[in-house]
Amino acid sequence: MTPEKLCELAKEAMSRAYAPYSGYYVGAALLCSDGTVYQGCNIENASFSPTNCAERTAFFKAIYDGHRDFEAIAICGGKEGKITGLFPPCGVCRQVMREFCRDDFKVYMITPEGYELKTLTELLPSSFSL
């Protein structure tokens, strides 16, 4: 799985977003170590706080299916699905990554031109875990 292909799958996932409140469509594609890819979208709620981010949708689908070993995630988002810049993962999603991923887990943040790559440690230094 190339980074480019993973990014394509994240872009495809944006179209599944349920985002009637913010209008931001977000997509994610999570690569498991065995090569399986899980796609996720954001799922909003009238009560706002139950909203689930695209990244966590992908993680929770994968975890439920029994996956525990992850290589990378590609993420994109934008108003009405138009990618105009980076859409970095929120703090809650970074903490979920921390629970299941190694320090060198790769996060591809899609841009209009391509992507920016950071590791989980770069995105969440001095992190909390048990």
Note the residues at the interface with ligand THU (CB under 6 A). Answer: 19, 22, 24, 26, 42, 44, 51, 53-55, 89-90, 93
CA 67 from chain center: how many Å?
16
Active site annotation includes 55:
yes
Closer of 34 and 38 to ligand THU (Cβ) = 38
Q: State the first-to-last Cα distance of the chain, in angstroms, to the nearest integer.
A: 31
State which amino acid sits at residue 11.
K
Closer of 35 and 98 to ligand THU (Cβ) = 98
Closer of 2 and 49 to ligand THU (Cβ) = 49
Out of 44, 55, 113, 116, the active site residue is 55
Q: How far are the Cα atoms of 2, 6, 16, 79, 114 from residue 84, in angstroms, in the given order? A: 23, 19, 19, 8, 11
Retrieve residue 83's tokens: 């990618």
Q: What residues are annotated to the active site?
A: 55
